[in-house]
């Protein structure tokens, strides 16, 4: 057992920081030291931002996005196309599509994908609420933007089944060569899909 | 200008997290999402640990270490050799030496190195307090463990000058081949030092 070199408060700060994705034990120590050195510019503001987030962040009851408002900023944005809803697995996917300015529409965050092995069934996702939203009317197109994994595709099929009786156009993201990608490094499935859906230039 | 995708509270959390060493904009977003998802296990405890640190962490008035106590945990540890003081540039160096269990002694944290170009002079470091500690008596050896850089060595010489009239043995860390290191990748200065101070096996 190592000797104590600082009070338990600092040790605890380091241990908690080390649990953030992207920070290991060494970088957690560096981060803790930086925080303590920049108390007024960084440590105190971050402590306050986290306290506010812990108190006020919630899931949007409409779309499953996280925000300090419910309904969330996106669901209440008057400048978005309300007829199109993009279905994503996770909030991080929503953020990625927003960064890409992919489509000025609304979202539906599933909160995961169907995965029997991990014990994730339909009731663990927000599929029922999605069906409800479509049934309420006003949504003309649903863009299924789940990951191109087996679980993602299974989830997509399940959603399509659930929506079979409702008059909504269902689309999915195109498969193809990533922009800036090299053919040589791509898997055969992607190349085949890209060739089949080739477009005229 | 991008559209708002979440309330300003979450944006602010991401921006502050991105200022931690080791986290860029992308990993700050991932960290923020992880924090919000693990509110009770991670976000709230971390917010509390940071608030405590912001309120209670201070510099040890004896040695310059950071701690929630003053004098710090190391200065008040009764199981350390009080006759030896290790002089380091920064708290991170203190932590590194403690992890290595290098010597069961006390420390003196300079808070930087002399660097005229960056406007760091003797008064910006804790050299005066170090001279005071040695003058108070009881310290038999001072291990200068500053970095082996030009600024570090300049600082070491300055400290030695300041202590010229005091009866204390001054030592420094050995130069040599890092354990596990390959000769081929080492600079000539290190190899020369390692050869000159070679030891009998």
Closest residue in chain A to residue B15, using alpha carbons only: A46
Go through the domains of chain B in sequence order and give each one's CATH number. 81-201 (3.40.1360.10)
What would the pLDDT profile of B63-81 be if each residue is shown by its tens digit?
Answer: 999 999 999 999 999 999 9
ipTM of the complex: 0.78
A58 at B interface, C-beta within 8 A = no
Helices within chain A (DSSP H only): 8-17, 25-37, 44-56, 91-99, 127-135, 150-162, 188-196
Q: What is the pLDDT of residue A1?
A: 43
- pLDDT score for A2: 55
pLDDT digits (tens, 9 = 90+) for A25-77: 889 999 999 999 899 999 999 999 999 999 999 999 999 999 999 999 999 99
CA distance A102 to A97: 5
The answer to whether residue A99 scores a pLDDT higher than 90 is no
| Share of chain B residues as helix, strand and coil, in percent rounded to the nearest 5 | 45, 15, 40
- Distance from first CA to last CA of chain A, Å, rounded? 67
Rounded mean pLDDT, B124-138: 96
**Residue A138 in contact with partner chain B when CB distance is under 8 A:** no
B111 φ/ψ sector (left φ>0, alpha ψ -120 to 50, else beta): left
Give contacts of B53 with chain A, Cβ < 8 Å: 9-10, 13, 32, 35-36, 43, 47
Contact flag A95-B20 (C-beta cutoff 8 Å): no
User: Which of B4, B6, B66 shows the shortest C-beta gap to A36?
Assistant: B66
User: In this model, does residue A157 exceed pLDDT 80?
Assistant: yes
């Amino acid at each position: 057992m190592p000797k104590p070199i600082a009070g338990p408060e600092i040790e605890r700060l380091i241990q908690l920081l080390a649990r953030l994705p992207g920070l290991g034990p060494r970088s957690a120590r560096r981060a803790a030291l930086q925080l303590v050195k920049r108390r007024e510019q960084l440590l105190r503001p971050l402590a306050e931002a986290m306290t506010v987030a812990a108190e006020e962040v919630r899931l949007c009851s409409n779309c499953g996005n996280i925000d300090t408002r419910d309904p969330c900023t996106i669901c209440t944005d008057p400048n978005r196309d309300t007829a199109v809803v993009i279905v994503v697995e996770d909030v991080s996917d929503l953020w990625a599509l927003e960064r890409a300015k992919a489509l000025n529409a609304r979202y539906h965050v599933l909160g995961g994908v169907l995965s029997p092995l991990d014990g994730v069934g339909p009731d663990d996702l927000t599929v029922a609420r999605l069906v409800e939203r479509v049934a309420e009317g006003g949504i003309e197109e649903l863009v299924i933007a789940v990951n191109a994994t087996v679980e993602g595709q299974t989830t997509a099929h399940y959603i399509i089944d659930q929506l079979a009786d409702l008059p909504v156009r269902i689309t999915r993201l195109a498969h193809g060569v990533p922009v800036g990608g090299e053919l040589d490094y791509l898997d055969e499935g992607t190349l085949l899909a890209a060739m089949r859906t080739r477009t005229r230039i």
